Structure 1
Amino acid sequence: MCTVEHYYWRCKQCGAKRDGTPRIRFFACPKGPAMDACTGANHVDKITDEEPCETCRHNSSIARRGAEMSIRWAWDLYAQADNNCPTADRDLYRQLDRFLRDRGLFLRPNRHDLEDVKREWQACAAVYPLRFAEALCTWQARLLDKRWRHAHGFRRGEHCSSSNMGPLARMLYSAYGLVLSGLVLLAHPQDAEAGVTRRVSNEYPTAPNGRERISLNGDWRFSRFASNPDSLSYDVMKEWIFPTGNQFVVTGTQHTRPSGTPPGSNVTYVQASFDDSDWEAVNLPHDWAIKGPFNAPGIPNSMGALPINGVGWYRRNLVIDSADADKSIFLDIDGAMSNAAVWLNGELVGGWPYGYASFRLDLTPYVKVGDNMLAIRLDNPLNFSRWYPGAGLYRNVWLVKVDQTHVGQFGTYITTPAVSAESADLDLTVEIENKRNVSREVDVVTDVYVLDTATGRAGGDVVATFPQTTTSAMASSRHTVNASTTIANPLLWGPPPEQEPNMYVAITKLLADGEVIDVYETPFGIRSVTYDGDKGISINGKLVRIQGTNNHHDLGSLGAAFHLRAAERQLELLQELGCNALRMSHNPPATELLDLADRFGFLVQDEIFDVWRRQKISDDYHLYFEDWHEQDLRSFIRRDRNHPSIISWSYGNEIVEQTEDSGGAMAEELHAMVKAEDPTRKSGAAMNRAQAGSRFADAGDVVGLNYQGEGHGESFNSAFPSFRAAYPEKVILSTESSSAVSTRGTYIFPVTPANHSNVGVQDGGNAGVDPENLLVSAYELYAVSWGASPDKVFGMQDKHPYVAGEFVWTGWDYIGEPTPYDTEARSSYFGIIDLAGFKKDRFYLYQARWRPDLHDPLSYYPSQSAHILPHWTWPDRVGEVTPVHVFSSADEAELFVNGESAGRLQREPSNYRFRWDDITYEPGELRVVTYKDGAEWAVDTRKTVGDAAKLTMTADHTTISADGHDLSFISVAVVDENGDTVPEASDSITFSISGPGEIVSTDNGNPGDFTEFPSLTRKAFSGLALAIVRSEAGASGEITVSAEADGLEGAQVVLQST
């Protein structure tokens, strides 16, 4: 096989470019068709040559057009595949499709038309060239792996060759290496010399006492006490734990540890001699409350009615090697809910009260060579949160071992003061901490690489270097050094699909006497952010309308314990929705969630406080604000400020004192702290009562309005104009909008004729609600009294085009705050997606608004641009009026009921809902045909389904890592004989599992279901249920998950743990 290449050279040192001449290349694998021994590198020749740049003589080259021709050749080969491929090939295709979906590359799994696949893959490669290339590389490696092939249908001992593959499989196997090489070169031209292999060089010898960061998530013992077992409390310990935050006290008072015996020294749980063998064995992250039971005494439904309260003790042994005796030893806790206090070997080390803070403790004075006993105490009062906070060590915990002279905690800060397509200026600040009692001369060397987001590691050669700095690190002090550099032709970070979220990593090395004593990595992105009061927010000069959602930190039935795959799944669905921004309401998120936001390309408003000095509930953060707000705020900013996804900070949400002068004074103080820590971003507080021109509103440089823009409830009195008049230069955002409520798949009659209704307060007090079953209508017209329907919000946003966008309350349902059933249900009704991860009808309403061109066959998302509601199976409503609504961005829509037209409607501006409110129900089929610019646009149907006959199961991942953390989310549907979901099915489903995995929780998205989350029996809700499977650490093999229900045919799904 051969292709003609046209290419040009580009110097990666100076950016100079010159054309090359065409050449012919041949492709063949020297290992032959039986390719077990082929590494893939032999499959495609390197397509670049070293040649000195005519401008600066630097040796570098890039054959971009050659890569483009290689991709074209691969698609031509693809077209040779048999469209009627055999079953084995279809399975192989589905495996690839699922594999790409798992990496955020959204393809269509339900079609095999070659031209459709070709267009979609080309579009996917264009939008995410690097991610697409890396995914193909990994998948090709799987094909070359015997264990993977055997697990996916190849017979034992077979080679993966043309003799045992169908035509599609042969094509996929032979073409991927070629496609990969072209895509990698297109995505990262500066890596052309290295081909697919990327290198990270190290010129310096590394000292034996370099940095180690070790997970402490395993092998804990835990016990919860409903009442205080040890007479300890925050008031008793606060003077002792204050010094933990001294590093972040700039304007306040530094704290000195009191003299005498610290509290807790006589508590048996901190002693190494205590026998904890009858305590529960747990791994972190751990949420002690999520297993239930519900209706915990004293816990309100607003907090999920789960047992979050009480004192929890965690214990773990640490072994310190003699080689570490001269190191600094730190404990890094990413999140502990709440009032954390830590002891090592019976001595109080320190603590931190805010449950959402990430903090560090210096174990060095207390540690010894050999065994060490680490004990952590947490204490949650009954009434300290407005939503479900979780409980326990719910985020990751790390042990850091490093030379006593090292880069400090959150010790680097990279800014990009000037950014263009041609170059980017980088400024770097490095904080060096010297724990030694003598000064030390240190060299600081920082190189910049492209970040391989698939591995989280540096890739390729150095793309920029900061000038080396030599400094004297004074004894027992912190010292900062600064440097600047420039990157030519930078790969910019920006939100997809118009831009790509490219990432870099700066690797900082500290050297003493020529040896590397510390290595510190800083992922970052290069982008510019422009805030314009007239236009809104631009990234890299391109206007981006904020299509955002608020999200609390729980992960549904998994609780507050952070799971990377669960968070990734949430972002995948939000991105499919068309969401491009996240507001971290109302607390610092897990750092891994920000990593995902960087990788996916979401914009983020990072938020820290829900209360200041004035309480919202009795035991909330107001008890700690005076003592800890500076430490919490500064550490939060320093932790997160290198994330390119963050475009603004929020230092408060609906603060009680926002209308008072004291609130304005505190807003000014907090805003000044934010600016001191990060002068590159805007900040403010989300306001629901503050007036334009008030001291509170004046303090911020971005205006965030909660519900005031669209007008509360039935009111259309908007606050947008007054804030616009007061602050014409400031960006205005709806930091919370809508607060619509619904339960998935449930429709309640009659339906309001308006485009908005306050839930439950009209039509005799039952508007859109079914109090007996704790349901809210899914016609998506009903909102809480302070909120508005999506339809109303769209109209008010469009009426005021200077508004930069919105953050909807909320993207996902969450545990707690079950309005309108505040004292009866256990989770919220606000989400566009329900607690189990199933899409509500509202999903398609926002999708029509946020992705109006969804029909585009080149879209990298699954395509659907018309959505009918309700379902059409109403045996008790024959002859009754049953309104039919369609969500679409089309210009016109025509509805057919059993083939008869019910009328063709035109869409009004800012409206994405077509309504036929006088349809009389009769069994059969609904069909809508939509039109745009006079041409047919999209079609959707609903039909009457039969009785429940069987279950079906679908896993979002059929292959999971055997690391004890990876998850597969398995959806179960109750279907009729034709495989159509029975829309009101509520059959009780029993799950079972065999193999190296466990079912950690089940759910169905029903806010009124009080079955405990770990239960293996779960009723279907609106025909669906969910089981979450976690792998067993270190155990590979098949995992079989089964579902059964009385009177129905059961189902199974097989997962592979590798």
Structure 2
Amino acid sequence: MMKKALKLILLLPFIYSCKSQVTNHTFVRNEQGNPISLDEDWRFIRYGYQPDGTYRPEPDSLYQLTVDDTQWEELDVPHDFGITGPFRMDLAGNTGRLPYQGIGWYRKDFYVNPSDADQSFYIDFDGVMAYAKIWLNGKYVGTWPYGYNSFRLDLTPYINFNGKNTIAVRTDTEKWDSRWYPGAGIYRNVWLIKTGKVHVKHWGSKIGTSNFKEKSVDLDISLEIENKLPDSKQAIVKTQIYELDHNDRIGKKVLSFDQHQIQIEPRGIQKIKLKKNFPNFKYWDISSPNRYVACTRIIVDGKVTDRHYSSFGIRDIKVSRNGFFLNGRRVEIKGVCNHHDLGALGAAVNTSALERQLDILLEMGCNSIRTSHNPPTPELLYLADKKGILIMDEAFDAWERGKREWDYNKLYPEWHQKDLEAMVRRDWNHPSVIFWSIGNEVMEQQNVAMTQHLVDIVKQLDSTRPVTNGYNDPNGGRASGACQALDIMGVNYFFGEQAKWDKDERYKDKPTIGTETSSCISSRGVYFGGDTLRKDFQITSYDLDSPPWGCKPDVQFATNHQYPHLLGEYVWTGFDYLGEPTPFNSDKTNLLNFRTDPGKKKELMEQLKKLEESQPPSRSSYFGIVDMAGFPKDRYYLYQSVWRPDYPMTHILPHWNWPDRIGKKIPVHVYTSGTEAELFVNGKSYGKKTKTPGKDYRLVWDDVVYTPGVVKVIAYKNGKKWAEDEIKTTGKAQKIVLSSDKTNIHAAKKELAFIKISLTDESGYVVPTACIPLKIEVSGNGRLVATDNGDPTSFTPFQSNCRESFNGLALAIVQADSKKKGNIHIKVTGEGLKDGEMDIAVK
């Protein structure tokens, strides 16, 4: 314990420095300028329900200073105590058959400088799942039950300036129900904030724009200055604007506001508004995400008491019947819905894992993400700001009437306004956030007063962004008039009567978007013959299957073409996620998709009953365009062909390893951004096929006779050769080939390297049917964090170093040890295979 105490003391000079200059420093996060990470060196213990299903009674008063925690587990946060498993068949498939329900206690010691007794100290939690309660030095500080929201608590009254401080956090997911895997514990980052007694209030800086002209814009800043002293104080407020580069370095100063002198009442808050014309500004846009940072200094009695940072971007957004407009041009929303887990990492946030997901989606042509169905981690929004990704920021999956007994309905009466305000205030300066969503498929979709109430809460804080709600009963929401309160009508799947509502006087000018679309389901690299779509709890990757409420992607593309005024779509989902393994999911909330269709509801109920009895061995979803390991499914290339029409590409499916089907017909599908294509098998042409605009989104050859060899496609556009692709019949798996998304990683930044493990034949072609047990060994300056293979039926623990490949691929996730020096060495072995080895450099 002494080693950890010394480490914290060594941090003190950094914690309590106050930078005299702004430029050339690295921006860390919005709010006060010297946030200190409290992520390291926690102790943890689990009570209540245990991973093996037993129950461990919780002792009283674990927040007391006298508690002996020396035998507790030592760890860093973010931490998800459910992801270690084990998978258990007696647990619900909709939450990944993982033991996330339990009571977690966390404790941590830290010290502050006695000379800072005149300062205020806060703790910022980016998210704690769930029902978080916090104590400092045995004194109760506060709570925030909704696990997806960020919150701040004032530690100042309880700080010990002359010795050790002990913070204790209790989390409780025993009565937190979810329709997907929510994670458990302190699963996002934690920060210690030190500032003077007169400072910018938490989330008290709001930056807006007005009066756009060709080369200038008015910058409008609203500030809330808080005085924590018992005496009235006079303060000087100075705000300056700096450029912020892609590496988060603060650059040159580009604008200065006139200083303001204000008088703040004892323990009061003073609001001020700043306005100034900003000439020659740079737009934030999808292709050029230029960012700025506002630095506000508060000066009292000649001393700087606070230095506050707010990053932002300047963009002009509008919505109308004609579409979504960004900086004056129409932008079609090509979006995906994503849950918050990071696959094998669980819910524990890691910036490099998030960035990998975003980069994969960007390559597909995705330009927007709906944060289904909760406020996201702050890191997602910072990355979206940097990469030019548009965000629909969503608040709730339930309102006052729950979908499950212990979901948000238990919190709604007391907490809905606090939670909604917290989301909006935290995120209102992010240029990536373009829509607010107040809910998803809530039970009160037809409730006019409740919808208006929630919209009003948002609009009182931010009237610059449109508000929407995701309806899986769009007819009911329109008929009742509830959705008239919305700026945008959000439709989940049911576009069958869109033409009717387009003619309705109330809605003919209402902008409409697909808040959830398609719900196509598939397993990567799996194909069945004939009419078989599902077998052995896997689903064909021909991209033809969906649950009763969904459709194949082609149908939604045709809908978007038929109704060009639609703003676009959010596909369910970008990535596979833990839990909700539809169609092998007996969760009765699926019935809510047919709340107005008794016949289909009864039919689905019978199917769910059979599933409940059969207990399918699935732990993750099949909805993803990308599997849970981050490997694209065939569908990825279908979306790429439509969303990136100017990108020359073509993709063939299925694979061409069918030794038991020689001489039999195998359908061949081609996804291409071209308009026509010709297919060849071993040099023999099967003819050209041409797309009909608005109708055809894939080209299909149903009469291809299988013979081992080479399948090649040449795509054309406007009569000219556009792109080509080929697949080959491979030999047996002979080698293990490793590749990484990074060649070097930063130990201090907790960066991860994602190692793709490919099983190839002697010629280096991935063997698409290879499912072979592998062993992953990591040595040197690093450790193995997790493994996966994208198989939704795999019950191998994610922390295991033994992992079977799934259709030729597997994944290893490694991290550097910040306490060591040197590189990381990864070695993967498998019986009958040549070893795969590689090194990752550590900075």
User: Do both share a fold (TM > 0.5)?
Assistant: yes
> Of 608, 623, 626, which aligns to 1:830?
623
Alpha-carbon separation, structure 1, partners of 2:682 and 2:327: 51
The answer to whether structure 1 residue 442 and structure 2 residue 235 are counterparts is yes
The answer to whether structure 1 residue 579 and structure 2 residue 366 are counterparts is yes
Equivalent residue number for residue 679 of structure 1? 463
Q: Is the 8 A contact 2:33 2:309 kept in 1?
A: no
The answer to whether structure 1 residue 748 and structure 2 residue 536 are counterparts is no
Equivalent residue number for residue 498 of structure 2? 719
- 1:408 Cα deviation after fit: 0.6
Moved more, 829-838 or 726-735: 726-735
> Of 939, 942, 956, which aligns to 2:724?
939
Report Cα offsets for 1:847-905 as digits up to 9, x if no partner.
Answer: 000001102xxxxxxxxx11000000100111222100000121211111111111111
- 1:694 Cα deviation after fit: 2.2
Alpha-carbon separation, structure 1, partners of 2:282 and 2:113: 43
- 1:267 Cα deviation after fit: 3.1
- 1:211 Cα deviation after fit: 5.9
Amino acid at match of 1:487: F
Residue 335 of structure 2 aligns to a residue whose secondary structure is: strand
Equivalent residue number for residue 871 of structure 1? 655
> Of 352, 356, 362, which aligns to 1:565?
352
Q: Is the 8 A contact 2:323 2:567 kept in 1?
A: yes
Equivalent residue number for residue 220 of structure 1? 42
CA RMSD of aligned residues (A): 1.5
Alpha-carbon separation, structure 1, partners of 2:269 and 2:129: 30
Amino acid at match of 2:216: S
> Of 632, 648, 653, which aligns to 2:440?
653
The answer to whether structure 1 residue 638 and structure 2 residue 460 are counterparts is no
Alignment of 1:238-317 (within 5 A): 267-295=60-88, 297=90, 299-317=91-109
- 1:693 Cα deviation after fit: 4.1
Larger Rg: 1
Alignment of 1:846-857 (within 5 A): 846-855=639-648
Q: Is the 8 A contact 2:23 2:250 kept in 1?
A: no
Equivalent residue number for residue 486 of structure 1? 277
- 1:200 Cα deviation after fit: 4.1
Residue 317 of structure 1 aligns to a residue whose secondary structure is: strand
Alpha-carbon separation, structure 1, partners of 2:110 and 2:721: 67
The answer to whether structure 1 residue 883 and structure 2 residue 676 are counterparts is no
Report Cα offsets for 1:377-432 as digits up to 9, x if no partner.
Answer: 01112561000000000000111111111111001000012223400111001111
Amino acid at match of 1:743: S
Equivalent residue number for residue 696 of structure 1? 482
- 1:841 Cα deviation after fit: 0.3
Equivalent residue number for residue 323 of structure 2? 536
Amino acid at match of 2:619: R
Q: Is the 8 A contact 1:271 1:373 kept in 2?
A: no
Alpha-carbon separation, structure 1, partners of 2:827 and 2:33: 46
- 1:845 Cα deviation after fit: 0.2
Equivalent residue number for residue 816 of structure 1? 579
> Of 363, 374, 392, which aligns to 1:605?
392
The answer to whether structure 1 residue 779 and structure 2 residue 558 are counterparts is no
Residue 308 of structure 2 aligns to a residue whose secondary structure is: strand
Moved more, 364-373 or 970-979: 364-373
Alpha-carbon separation, structure 1, partners of 2:502 and 2:262: 49
Residue 664 of structure 2 aligns to a residue whose secondary structure is: coil
Alpha-carbon separation, structure 2, partners of 1:917 and 1:359: 56
Report Cα offsets for 1:236-293 as digits up to 9, x if no partner.
Answer: xxxxxxxxxxxxxxxxxxxxxxxxxxxx9x9341122211111111101000111111
Structure 1 gap segments, 5+ residues each? 1-198, 203-209, 229-263, 710-716, 752-766, 856-864
Residue 807 of structure 2 aligns to a residue whose secondary structure is: coil
Alpha-carbon separation, structure 2, partners of 1:418 and 1:304: 50
Alignment of 1:593-632 (within 5 A): 593-632=380-419
User: Normalising to structure 1: TM-score of the pair?
Assistant: 0.72
The answer to whether structure 1 residue 589 and structure 2 residue 589 are counterparts is no
Amino acid at match of 2:533: G
Alpha-carbon separation, structure 2, partners of 1:201 and 1:359: 29
> Of 676, 680, 686, which aligns to 1:902?
686
Amino acid at match of 2:793: G
Q: Is the 8 A contact 1:446 1:509 kept in 2?
A: yes
Q: Is the 8 A contact 2:241 2:294 kept in 1?
A: yes
Equivalent residue number for residue 632 of structure 2? 839
The answer to whether structure 1 residue 420 and structure 2 residue 213 are counterparts is yes
Equivalent residue number for residue 706 of structure 1? 492
Alpha-carbon separation, structure 1, partners of 2:175 and 2:529: 39
Q: Is the 8 A contact 1:301 1:816 kept in 2?
A: yes
- 1:684 Cα deviation after fit: 1.9
Q: Is the 8 A contact 2:474 2:494 kept in 1?
A: no
Equivalent residue number for residue 1027 of structure 1? 812
> Of 307, 328, 331, which aligns to 1:519?
307
Alpha-carbon separation, structure 1, partners of 2:509 and 2:748: 51
Residue 419 of structure 1 aligns to a residue whose secondary structure is: coil
Which of structures 1 and 2 has the larger relative contact order (alpha carbons within 8 angstroms, sep 6+)?
Answer: 2
Equivalent residue number for residue 432 of structure 1? 225
The answer to whether structure 1 residue 468 and structure 2 residue 262 are counterparts is no
Alpha-carbon separation, structure 2, partners of 1:538 and 1:357: 29
User: Percent identity of the aligned residues?
Assistant: 44
User: Normalising to structure 2: TM-score of the pair?
Assistant: 0.90
Amino acid at match of 2:699: F
Alpha-carbon separation, structure 1, partners of 2:192 and 2:22: 25
Equivalent residue number for residue 336 of structure 1? 128
Amino acid at match of 1:1045: G
- 1:809 Cα deviation after fit: 0.4
Alpha-carbon separation, structure 1, partners of 2:359 and 2:767: 26
The answer to whether structure 1 residue 920 and structure 2 residue 742 are counterparts is no
- 1:964 Cα deviation after fit: 6.1
The answer to whether structure 1 residue 322 and structure 2 residue 126 are counterparts is no
Residue 657 of structure 1 aligns to a residue whose secondary structure is: coil
- 1:723 Cα deviation after fit: 4.8
Aligned residues: 774
Q: Is the 8 A contact 2:534 2:540 kept in 1?
A: yes
Alpha-carbon separation, structure 2, partners of 1:227 and 1:200: 49
Equivalent residue number for residue 367 of structure 1? 159
Amino acid at match of 1:734: G
Equivalent residue number for residue 768 of structure 1? 533
- 1:227 Cα deviation after fit: 4.2
Taking a change above 3 Å as real, the CA distance of residues 227 and 201 of structure 1, as seen in their structure-2 partners, is closer
Taking a change above 3 Å as real, the CA distance of residues 958 and 686 of structure 1, as seen in their structure-2 partners, is same
Alpha-carbon separation, structure 2, partners of 1:348 and 1:786: 48
Q: Is the 8 A contact 1:1035 1:1057 kept in 2?
A: no
Q: Is the 8 A contact 1:327 1:404 kept in 2?
A: yes
Equivalent residue number for residue 860 of structure 1? none
> Of 975, 988, 997, which aligns to 2:760?
975
Residue 467 of structure 1 aligns to a residue whose secondary structure is: coil
Structure 2 gap segments, 5+ residues each? 1-20, 25-31, 51-57, 586-614
Q: Is the 8 A contact 1:1036 1:1056 kept in 2?
A: no
Taking a change above 3 Å as real, the CA distance of residues 348 and 632 of structure 1, as seen in their structure-2 partners, is same
Residue 876 of structure 1 aligns to a residue whose secondary structure is: helix
- 1:938 Cα deviation after fit: 1.0
- 1:932 Cα deviation after fit: 1.0
- 1:839 Cα deviation after fit: 0.6
Residue 156 of structure 2 aligns to a residue whose secondary structure is: coil
